[in-house]
Structure 1
């Protein structure tokens, strides 16, 4: 055999090392592919992407996506990647929302369900998720029954109840602006329970209901309702509308000059609505469920910066709802080392959100008796222009959710476990 030179021997050793490395890569590759191809943990979002509540639904989706981006960057849930599957529930077709919920659970095999902005849809898809034993977090449907008379073991809610919102602001309105109130109310579950909450406050304080006008969801012309409100001559006109309905009703109220004669107010208000209004229509006393400008609250600047990079705007309460919903499930799943719906639901009872998820002065927690999140509520007034861009609300006081909520025994909730 021909004797190799030292240089040839070095070259041969290099070739053998490369070949060995290639062999290892061929053996190792299937394991890498298998890890990357791990079946993802799926969240299904059933929310409005069209119609009156489209912007609110899209911002909840963005909050979910931001949470999932962060989870996947840090190992996912139980070491598996996380995926979001989104369906447009529409803003007003409850039948469509129910069909989408069934599709997400039965065909898309989602592990968890999220949604809806529309209260009637939140109730309806809560029945579906309960029937199909799927853990479900309601992101933005506020009607009391979700965590009250229609509560389920598998359903939790991030946003406030309507009674929490009315209780947090009613006394301020009564003491400062008068005891005679008129309601402009969207004619479905959300509006009905908001009005009921305010009526309960009026009765408690000894006030008077001057009247009410029920407006269908998606109303564009509010003139007949505004004329009726004006004729009633109240101290306060309460606008219980939301989404694009709130933009239309408040804009037209200012065109009628009602703000010059009556105090304009309501319960739930949103940054999306204030941004959609001309500056002279950014008026009134309201409740925000989360606000982006919170000096000295840890982790809020990081969340604001993250959403700005992803969405090109400051976050709203709707971004926060989506972010909290995904993280609530992820946190308890990683804590309990399971995806079992019953075990996770039990773990969520009393669960307190960490500061980087809660993003408010007092740590929000899920109340065990009815699965309702207990956050802070931000009571204040709208401003035409703030000291910073997008700063269109001045927080006058914070109210703890547990102080605004009805006691569990008064909600009508009686949870029956699977």
Structure 2
């Protein structure tokens, strides 16, 4: 008994809860994303490296237990992702799964995680349903979502005269959600949607879709897709002279990685929305330069968001004094988010992390001062405006 009270006293002096416990004597975080396909540059191995950076920055341990990062490629297929996630949870002692590029994958893994009572944190998928009708008590959504992208890019272009839209939409949950959210913003601001067409994921030939967009006469062609799909659509649009003909191209989910892939000559003038830009603050520059030393590239919002999500999860375990799911999920909602990604973020009751997002314009080659100097920040959109009010998101967990 005396030994017990002595340990309690030492724990109190150290600021560590006496009931601290970590299952399996380790904390294992799985980064599950597309590492070889259309979204490989969007998050990919860069997100894995960002997660490792967060674990190392935290000291490599939490509550005295080592932190391990594991990863796998889900190939943008929900069945493959679910099988990997189930194996990780059932036999490989993975405590939480993060990143989850591709909305159909994220929805499937979030449902499985809820069933297994495990935490998942999404930074790579976009659909706002993750914290809406498909929300989970253990599910969290970081970095961006379709509503924030719609408010940022869609709203800005309508206000700038782009009041008629035609959508090229990826034919799965993410694309539908992005088109729906952006279309709603366009109409709210007095614009119209004149049509849309859907294309398969990882399409290589956009000619028929672009011809429909061109013949629609819409002032804005909204690309409700991402990754290589967006890059290929923009490249082929140039061949059809769509911009030269007076129409504007809107990359509704376009990040620093895709701008780098296209080059400024092709991407210049594009309007886009991201929740992180490496050259915005001292903290973002410091993190980004460390990331570049390890990867050769500057991070986008998905990779920086993964870093932030891993840090927040570890902080929550430390604050809870355990890695038990219910306790950690509660702390994740309670603690503020303050790091190189977001200075003053907070997590809503539906799991949506709310922080500011930024309307960007891609610089011309003449405006850029060097490699990775790609954006002019045109406006800061407060998180409360960018994201749906948790009480109105449709999450059954929120009264």
Please point out which of 76, 81, 89 is paired with 1:97. Answer: 81
Paired residues in the alignment total 371
Residue of structure 1 in register with 2:106 after alignment? 122
Counterparts of 1:57 and 1:124, CA distance in 2: 19
TM-score of the two chains, using structure 2 as the length reference: 0.89
Residue of structure 1 in register with 2:14 after alignment? none
Please point out which of 359, 383, 388 is paired with 2:363. Answer: 383
Contact 1:142–1:159, Cα closer than 8 Å, also in 2: no
Deviations 1:7-34 (A, max 9, x none): xxxxxxxxxxxxxxxxxxxxxxxxxxxx
Counterparts of 1:405 and 1:155, CA distance in 2: 16
Residue of structure 2 in register with 1:219 after alignment? 203
> How much does 1:235 deviate?
0.9
> How much does 1:337 deviate?
1.0
Q: Is 1:276 the counterpart of 2:266 in the alignment?
A: no
Residue of structure 2 in register with 1:51 after alignment? 37
Alignment of 1:170-189 (within 5 A): 170-189=154-173
Unpaired segments ≥5 residues, structure 1: 1-37
Deviations 1:145-177 (A, max 9, x none): 111000000001112220122012333211213
Q: Which has the larger radius of gyration?
A: 1
> How much does 1:285 deviate?
1.1
Counterparts of 1:208 and 1:52, CA distance in 2: 31
Contact 1:251–1:278, Cα closer than 8 Å, also in 2: no
Counterparts of 2:388 and 2:108, CA distance in 1: 23
SS, match of residue 395 in structure 1: strand
Q: Is 1:363 the counterpart of 2:344 in the alignment?
A: yes
- What RMSD over aligned residues (CA atoms) do the two structures have, in Å? 1.7
Alignment of 1:177-256 (within 5 A): 177-256=161-240
SS, match of residue 61 in structure 2: coil
Counterparts of 1:75 and 1:205, CA distance in 2: 48
Contact 2:225–2:252, Cα closer than 8 Å, also in 1: no
Unpaired segments ≥5 residues, structure 2: 1-23
Counterparts of 2:138 and 2:385, CA distance in 1: 25
Contact 1:177–1:263, Cα closer than 8 Å, also in 2: no
Contact 1:62–1:322, Cα closer than 8 Å, also in 2: no
Residue of structure 1 in register with 2:8 after alignment? none
Counterparts of 1:393 and 1:162, CA distance in 2: 21
Cα distance change, pair 245–172 in 1 and its aligned pair in 2 (3 A): same
> How much does 1:98 deviate?
0.6
Moved over 3 A (4+): none
Counterparts of 2:130 and 2:57, CA distance in 1: 29
Q: Is 1:84 the counterpart of 2:58 in the alignment?
A: no
> How much does 1:202 deviate?
2.4
Please point out which of 236, 250, 259 is paired with 1:265. Answer: 250
Residue of structure 1 in register with 2:52 after alignment? 65
Deviations 1:80-126 (A, max 9, x none): 211111111112x1110110110111111112221301011000000
Counterparts of 1:311 and 1:111, CA distance in 2: 26
Deviates more, 1:383-392 or 1:342-351: 383-392
Deviations 1:28-53 (A, max 9, x none): xxxxxxxxxx9432111221112111
Please point out which of 296, 316, 329 is paired with 1:312. Answer: 296
Contact 2:360–2:379, Cα closer than 8 Å, also in 1: yes
Deviates more, 1:40-49 or 1:222-231: 40-49
Contact 2:287–2:340, Cα closer than 8 Å, also in 1: no
Counterparts of 1:81 and 1:174, CA distance in 2: 50
Contact 2:106–2:122, Cα closer than 8 Å, also in 1: yes
> How much does 1:281 deviate?
1.7
> How much does 1:358 deviate?
4.3
Please point out which of 335, 350, 356 is paired with 2:319. Answer: 335
Counterparts of 1:265 and 1:234, CA distance in 2: 12
> How much does 1:250 deviate?
0.8
SS, match of residue 225 in structure 2: coil
Contact 2:170–2:199, Cα closer than 8 Å, also in 1: yes
SS, match of residue 177 in structure 1: coil
Counterparts of 1:202 and 1:86, CA distance in 2: 39
Counterparts of 2:117 and 2:209, CA distance in 1: 43
Contact 2:362–2:374, Cα closer than 8 Å, also in 1: yes
Deviates more, 1:53-62 or 1:372-381: 53-62
TM-score of the two chains, using structure 1 as the length reference: 0.85
> How much does 1:336 deviate?
1.7
Contact 1:353–1:363, Cα closer than 8 Å, also in 2: yes
Residue of structure 2 in register with 1:163 after alignment? 147
SS, match of residue 258 in structure 1: coil
